[in-house]
Amino acid sequence: MLDDKYPTLHRLGLGAQLDAVERICAASAAGKHKGEAIAQHGPDHHFGKADSHMVRSGFGYAGRDTESGEMHLIHAAARLLMAAACATQEAE
């Protein structure tokens, strides 16, 4: 049995969203963005992509990305995590 690395997030009810972030990132790393490092584009790039996904989430926030079928808000969350990773690397 695997240890739950994020028990608080799961208790808050974010398990399904965490699974969606994993699916998005795995599909991206295996396909469209294969071989690209997250830091390659920098935090501003990822922040802009997150903003675009938030806008495309639409009225009611339930809009889905046509390529992945996942919610735009989940894509935005993934991009914000990428922006944070870039910013952390730049600060080190």
Question: Cβ of 16: how many Cβ atoms within 10 Å?
Answer: 9
What pLDDT is attached to residue 3?
75
pTM of the model: 0.91
What pLDDT is attached to residue 2?
58
Evaluate the CA torsion angle 77, 10, 58, 23 in order and state its sign.
positive
User: Tens of pLDDT along the chain (92 residues)?
Assistant: 457 889 999 999 999 999 999 999 999 999 988 988 998 999 999 999 999 999 999 999 999 999 999 999 999 999 999 999 999 988 88
**3-class DSSP state for residue 71?**
strand
Question: Cβ of 70: how many Cβ atoms within 10 Å?
Answer: 19
What pLDDT is attached to residue 1?
44
Instruction: Name the token pair of 20.
Output: 């969606």
